[in-house]
Chains A and B, each alone.
Chain A
Amino acid sequence: MRFAFLLSLLMLASVAAASEGLNSLVFHDGFDRTPADFAGQSIVVIPFNGKC
């Protein structure tokens, strides 16, 4: 029970962090895009931290 509760909290935290992440992205080609720029498309976001 406690494990399930902790797991759900972790999942919620992950979802919140990812949503925040999408809105916080700054694109290096110079366009100040918003998520609305990708209307209709699926988006795959891959954080790259140098670990292959």
Chain B
Amino acid sequence: MIDVVRQFVDRKNKENLPVQVVLVTDADMLKSLKDLARIPEDAVTGVLYASSLLPHKRLYDHDAFYGPSGKIEGFGKVSTLATFTPAAHPLSNDGITNPAVQKAWFHLACGDWAALTQVASQAKKKGEVGDQAKILLERAEAYLTARKVAFEKRTIDLEAHVEGTKLADQLARSSAHKEAGKALSDKLKSAAKDEQLKAEIVARSAYFKLVPMQISIKPSEQETAKGGYLQLAKKYPDAIYGRKAKVAADVLSASPEK
């Protein structure tokens, strides 16, 4: 099975496929899987290793393929990875044939927006690299503009705050959107002064500090996580992550389901 995944990751890198591969496993199996798989933990060139907060009996046992919108496109078997073709990315790579510019597109499409600096440098060059990098830079900036415009219509709730923070960071990487990135960042900071949103942000932050302990193989850390979740649920009963903390505490309090 791991061989099939490794071969797919090789193909992803060779063909610049904008797809994320997530290997989900137990905390206690993670180390051996990493050693066994010998696939880098990298969102662009490797796979992402993850655990599920769900009890094992509820963790799905099908391989699942999701489309660009995050909706399931189908259940597959890992063997179908050999022929799996991801959907087209909204940031088009049509006409990008130069290997260096293609690789830069691959990084952007896989969410590595630090690559935008490289594209901007490539765009200053003459010849094929410069010509194609200019096209890619224009498309990347148009893609950022479209996302910025769509975001401006949103009410700043917790989800929007989390996504907006990431978008602000991506905008700041573009010389054309640097000011917009700062403006969005300031807008989010201002929104976070609202007491309710502030509580949601604090609860979320605390929740994600407890998560690594929940999926730890050490019982003592799981106990610490349980105590933390209970406190979080008590302090923020109406916050989204306060309610999630209650669920997590209940899961940890239940009998082991492994």
Using a CB–CB cutoff of 8 Å, the interface residues on chain A facing chain B are 14-15, 17-22, 24-30, 32-52
Using a CB–CB cutoff of 8 Å, the interface residues on chain B facing chain A are 1-2, 5, 8, 18-26, 29-30, 33, 41, 43, 48-54, 58-68, 70, 72-73, 75, 78, 81, 84, 86-87, 89-91, 109-111, 159, 162-163, 166, 204, 208, 211-212, 215
Residues of chain B with a CB closer than 8 A to A22's CB: 64, 66, 70
Q: Are B72 and A25 in contact (CB under 8 A)?
A: no
6 contacts between A and B (CB under 8 A): A22-B64, A27-B49, A29-B49, A43-B19, A44-B64, A47-B59
Of B24, B81, B166, B204, which contacts A48 at CB under 8 A? B24
The majority secondary structure among interface residues of chain B is: mixed
Q: Are A26 and B52 in contact (CB under 8 A)?
A: yes
Q: Are A18 and B62 in contact (CB under 8 A)?
A: yes
The majority secondary structure among interface residues of chain A is: mixed
- The answer to whether A44 and B29 touch (CB under 8 A), given A27-B48, A28-B51, A38-B111, is no
Q: How far is the CB of B221 from chain A (nearest CB, A)?
A: 14
Residues of chain A with a CB closer than 8 A to B21's CB: 43-44, 46
Of A15, A20, A41, which contacts B68 at CB under 8 A? A41
